[in-house]
């Protein structure tokens, strides 16, 4: 399993971080976790074959996490030659279908009828989907919005957890227990923490309780400046922590027991 961080930023535009987007590749699955502003152009600049995405899973409906989805749907029809013919599955929390229907009214019928097979699947917390034989996606509720969820991706050799946006959550930590890599949001420094986002210390604590083998931080607001959130998170986690940047790549596999 490979994880590529396409966008490690937030709703606040910066020159070096685009909004959340993370590509997980395993088997025949090319799963995009969130699709925020800048996803397509950043993927193109990084040489990532965005046109080969097979699934998109949205954690919640804040604009920085799904605002570029219509552009992706459009580009797969009009931005590549030949135009896409392979199916695409959109996955998201309950209410995804209604929101896409509303977008259709605003943008046109191509949102739900893009010219290639499109499936829309709503996933409830506690549910699991088969993406292909041996590859599953599961969801867990997070304390951020009414709809927000975290996702896990499992194959025969690896277990990855992406927190999406979340506040501290014992339920999430228990659900993620034993993951090989936790990709955790880290929106704000410890001295500016709020209930619905993680800080370096709370992200480290979440991963420690979960017993994660590796912790990677993403989703940084510019308020961090030149400080290193990984150093702070490592104190709570009890091991070294990676700080993601756009284009960062991680190999995910289970450690020998």
How far, in Å, are 72, 165, 179, 253 from residue 1 at the CA level? 23, 23, 13, 7
The alpha carbon torsion through 171, 154, 211, 229 (nearest 10 deg) reads: -90
The alpha carbon torsion through 95, 27, 3, 176 (nearest 10 deg) reads: 60
Residue 181 pLDDT greater than 80, yes or no = yes
pTM, to two decimals? 0.97
Pairing of strands 21-26, 29-33: antiparallel
pLDDT (tens digit per residue) in 29-62 = 999 999 999 999 999 999 999 999 999 999 999 9
**Residue 117, phi then psi, degrees to nearest 5:** -60, 125
DSSP assignments along 149-207, one per residue: EEEEEE-SS-EEEE--S----HHHHHHTTT-SEEEEE--S-GGG--TTS--HHHHHHHH
pLDDT (tens digit per residue) in 4-37 = 999 999 999 999 999 999 999 999 999 999 999 9
Q: Copy the structure tokens of residue 139.
A: 């969801």
Share of the chain above pLDDT 90, in %: 99
Structural domain boundaries of the chain?
A: 2-251
Share of the chain above pLDDT 70, in %: 99
Instruction: Work out the pLDDT band at 255, boundaries 50, 70, 90.
Output: confident
Q: Give the CATH class of 2-251.
A: alpha beta
């Amino acid at each position: 399993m490979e994880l590529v961080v396409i966008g490690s930023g937030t709703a606040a535009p910066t020159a070096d971080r685009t909004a959340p987007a993370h590509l997980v590749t395993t088997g025949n699955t090319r799963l995009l976790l969130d699709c925020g502003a800048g996803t397509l152009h950043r993927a193109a600049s990084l040489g990532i074959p965005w046109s080969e995405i097979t699934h998109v899973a949205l954690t919640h409906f804040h604009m920085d996490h799904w605002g570029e989805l219509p552009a992706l749907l459009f580009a797969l029809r009009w931005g590549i030659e030949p135009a896409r013919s392979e199916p695409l599955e959109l996955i998201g929390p309950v209410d995804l279908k209604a929101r896409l229907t509303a977008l259709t009214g605003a943008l046109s019928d191509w949102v739900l009828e893009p010219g290639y097979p499109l499936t829309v699947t709503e996933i409830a917390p506690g549910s699991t989907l088969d993406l292909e034989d041996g590859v599953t996606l599961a969801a867990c509720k997070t304390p951020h919005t009414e709809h927000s969820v975290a996702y896990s991706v499992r194959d025969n050799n690896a277990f990855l957890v992406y927190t999406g946006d979340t506040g501290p959550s014992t339920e999430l930590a228990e659900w993620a227990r034993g993951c090989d890599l936790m990709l955790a949001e880290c929106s704000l420094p410890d001295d500016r923490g709020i209930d619905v986002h993680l800080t370096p210390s709370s992200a480290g604590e979440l991963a420690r309780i979960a017993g994660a083998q590796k912790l990677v931080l993403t989703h940084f607001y510019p308020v961090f400046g030149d400080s290193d959130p990984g150093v702070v998170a490592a104190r709570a986690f009890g091991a070294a922590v990676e700080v993601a940047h756009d284009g960062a790549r991680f190999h995910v596999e289970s450690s020998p027991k």
